[in-house]
Structures are given as structure tokens and as C-alpha cells.
Structure 1
Amino acid sequence: MKLSPNTALIPIDVQRGFDYPPWGRRDNPSMERNGQRLLAAWRQRGLPLIHVRHDSVHTGSPLHPSHPGNALREGFEPLPSEAVIGKSVNAAFIGTDLDLRLRRLGVDCVILFGISTDMCVSTTARVASNLGYRTVVVGDACCCFDLTDADGAIIPAETIARAHLATLRAEFAEVIDTDILLAAI
């Protein structure tokens, strides 16, 4: 894998609120370790980094700004020089200045990871691709949760993650692992 020098890392919604109800069992216990490895490498090289945080508009949500769950997880807090974009929908580009910030930095490639694979990471990747960014999703630095289907059956998080990463790979993004990305930078 070859990266453009104009590449930004975008951690998405790595927040404490996902440890509260209604979120259930999740896949990928290595998400935090892999994400922290990415952050450390990016920071060491001084590459563009923009954090995304979900600021729910629903006051009862563990991701609402008034809830302690809105905070980024330990080890994912931004440094004073790093930007944080607050969003209230799934795509980090909708209702925010993320696209403007990236364009001002001359970014043409975005590297995405975070929570959750099937929701905000996937939606952001799809929009990034549609906006013309080379889009890379670090699959082993993402996680998602079990979901209930229309018949009441549980779909395991691992199945959901696998399907979403496959659809992203088919049309919207390159999907790689942390070690491959670290070797490329």
C-alpha cells in the first residue's frame, strides 16, 4: 500500500458512551489497541489528524454532550493541537466543516477507524468516497455490536462487521489492517 503525503487520520466516535446501554455485545476486543497504535504513529510523524465525536441531540443518549459517555475513551483524547469535530448524524461530513478542513489541509486521502463499523464509520466512508477522497478503512481498528433483525433474531457483531467491510471494499474504500497501514507510513 502506498499513501499520499496528503493523508489524514480520522478516528470516529471512540467514545465511552458505547459501554452504556443500549449498546450490547461487540466484536473486536483489539479495536482500542489498534486505534492507539495508529494514533501514536500518526502523531509521531506529525501527519494530519482530526477526531470525530458523536454529540447526540437526544438528552437520554449516553452520547449526549451532558452525559459522561460523550467523552472520548481513555487513550483517544485529542492533544491540544488536534481538531475535534462534533457531529449529530452518522456521517462526519454532514452538518460539520470536516470537508472544508480537509480541503484546506490539501488532504486527498482519509484513513478511518472507530465505532461503529456498520454505522458511523461506514457512513462516513461512503460520503468521503462520494466527495472524491481516496478512502481507507482500518477494519481491525473498528468494532460494532450485535443487532436484532426484523424477526427478533440476533445477528452477531462479527457477521455485521464482515458484511459491512465487504460492501465498503466492493465500492467505497480500501479495507486494510493496522499492521499494513503502519508499514505504509
Structure 2
Amino acid sequence: MATALFVIDIQNDLATDPTTRIPHADRITAAGRRILSAARGVTKPSTGTPELIIFVQHEEKPEDGPLVPGSAPWGLVFEPQLGAACERLVAKQTRDTFESNPALDFELKKLGVSSIIAFGIQSECCVESTCNGALAAGLEVTLLSGAHSTYSDSSSGKSAVQIEREVEERLRKKGAQVMPWEDAVAAWENAEK
């Protein structure tokens, strides 16, 4: 059975704009570069190596936020490679990629995908919601620890890293696996040897 790698909402507003980006944006983009390089380098798929890469891009109406299609904030930091049949762009208008794209689980299963590996921005919003959507669709889920993050929450006093850990714990309780992104990359690279 195949695995799909979900790259969730690593968009300019959240990751590169110095006035709006999340506190740990540099860590997420550096991890993303390594993860994508390793995933794209897999030529001998084995258990747990991604065979499909889904780039998720959030869209908003101008009155709802800055991620307006065609705008600079909406742009992706990482994009599908032109002509790469195993890389796809998926737009969404809700936190859960599966809710925004009701046929997505069917399309993935038709391609033999039984599990997803996820990372991106924001941990407690679109990352967690998409993982929950995948679990509800009957897919196995692995969240890459260290490769997802969010804003700190001043109202609760929780740091971004505390929120990351809480999301990981909630997803673990629902049956998801949480793995350091470095371990996933090492496994994919070792599968090539």
C-alpha cells in the first residue's frame, strides 16, 4: 500500500513574511527542504516511503484573511515540481483538507494510498484538522514532530512548542503515530541504499 506525504499550508504569510510568520518558521522551512529532498529522492518505494506528495494550499476570501488566491501571502514556499506525476496541489477553504475536498480520500485510496505522513503550519489548526480528516477517512497517519508549528498563544500563555506537543498527544490518543522528521528522512534515505 502506498503512502502520501502532505505538505500543509507552508505559505508566505505564515512562513516567510517577517511581520506575520510563525516564530519557528525557519525550523519548519529547513525541515521541509530536507523532507522534500529525501521524499523526492525515493526511487525504490518501500513500506512507509512516500510515493505521492500532496501540497496543500489554504485559500481565503479577502474579507476573511490574507491567503487570497493569486496574492503574495497565499504563495507556497514549496511547490510541486512541474511535470512530476507523483506531486499534486490541493486547495482548501477549511482547516481539514479532506472536508474541503470530499473526493480526496476516494482518489487516494484509488491510487492505493493507505497512509499519510503530514507536516506544516499551523499545528492546532490545519495540520491537526487534516490529520483528523485522514483518520476519519480510515487512513493511517504519521505526524512529523519538529516539522510542524504555530503561533504562541498569549491568551493561554502557551508557547508554540507547547502547542505542538499538545497536538501530538491528542493525535496519538486517536491512533496517529508521531515521529521525529529526522527519523523519517533517515528511513527513506536508508531504503535507497
Question: Could you tell me which residue of structure 2 aligns to residue 83 of structure 1?
Answer: 88
Partners of 1:168 and 1:62 in 2: CA distance: 28
Question: Could you tell me which residue of structure 1 aligns to residue 121 of structure 2?
Answer: 115
Question: Could you tell me which residue of structure 1 aligns to residue 9 of structure 2?
Answer: 13
Corresponding residue pairs, total: 176
Partners of 1:165 and 1:23 in 2: CA distance: 24
Give the C-alpha shift of residue 101 in structure 1.
Answer: 2.6
The one-letter code sitting in structure 2 at the alignment partner of 1:67 is S
Give the C-alpha shift of residue 10 in structure 1.
Answer: 0.8
Partners of 1:99 and 1:86 in 2: CA distance: 14
> What's the TM-score once normalised by structure 2's chain length?
0.82
Matching residue within 185, 188, 192 for 1:182? 185
Give the C-alpha shift of residue 172 in structure 1.
Answer: 3.6
Counterpart contact for 2:13–2:21, Cα < 8 Å: no
> What's the TM-score once normalised by structure 1's chain length?
0.86
| 1:116-155 correspondence runs (5 A) | 116-149=122-155, 153-155=156-158
Give the C-alpha shift of residue 156 in structure 1.
Answer: 1.6
The one-letter code sitting in structure 2 at the alignment partner of 1:124 is T
Matching residue within 16, 32, 37 for 1:35? 32
Q: Which runs of 5+ in 1 are unaligned?
A: none
Moved over 6 A (4+): none
The one-letter code sitting in structure 2 at the alignment partner of 1:6 is A
Post-superposition Cα deviations, 1:17-58, rounded to whole Å, max 9, x if no partner, equal: 115598465246421111111111111115211111001134
Name the Cα RMSD after superposition: 2.1
